[in-house]
């Protein structure tokens, strides 16, 4: 299994903030579920790390996740999507196309 580094935005803005935030939309639970999935699987434990981050940029598309070195950007991720990301992408090497909002640069970057 190839090494992958998963970054999950857990930025929290106050309720009512015009930008919203990934944490407001449930990203901390997504982070926790991803961590648990990796910790519980010996193969994933040896090849994947997950890191919580501050703002990744595309707040309107959050919860946002980016996976490197592939540079696959996921948006509008829900808690229920975590097993598919884990199995298809992190274990199988195949990104979950329906959740991909950009490859390479972040969505909306020049």
Taking the least distance from each CB to its own copies, the nearer of 28 and 79 is: 28
Q: Number of residues in contact with its own copies, rule: CB under 8 A?
A: 23
Residue 42 makes CB contacts below 8 A (sequence gap 6+) with none
- Sign of the dihedral defined by the CA atoms of residues 93, 98, 99, 104, in that order: positive
Q: Which DSSP symbol is given to 72?
A: E
Piece of the chain touching its own copies by CB under 8 A; list 17-25, 50-58, 76-84, 85-93 = 50-58
* Spatial CA neighbour of 102 closest among 67, 51, 78, 53: 67
Q: Is 107 in the site for its own copies (CB under 8 A)?
A: no
Candidates 1, 39, 94, 109: give the one binding its own copies (CB under 8 A): 109
Q: State the residues that interact with its own copies by CB under 8 A.
A: 3, 5, 7, 10, 46, 49, 51-57, 66, 68-71, 104-106, 109-110
């Amino acid at each position: 299994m190839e090494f992958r580094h998963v970054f999950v935005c857990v930025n929290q803005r106050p309720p009512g903030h015009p930008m919203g935030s990934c944490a407001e939309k449930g990203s901390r639970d997504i982070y926790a579920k991803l961590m648990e999935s990796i910790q519980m699987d010996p193969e994933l434990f040896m090849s994947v790390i997950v890191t919580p981050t501050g703002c990744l940029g595309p707040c309107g598309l959050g919860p946002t996740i980016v996976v490197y070195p592939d540079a696959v950007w996921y948006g509008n991720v829900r808690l229920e999507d975590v097993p598919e990301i884990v199995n298809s992408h992190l274990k199988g090497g195949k990104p979950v196309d329906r959740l991909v909002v950009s490859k390479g640069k972040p969505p909306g970057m020049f």
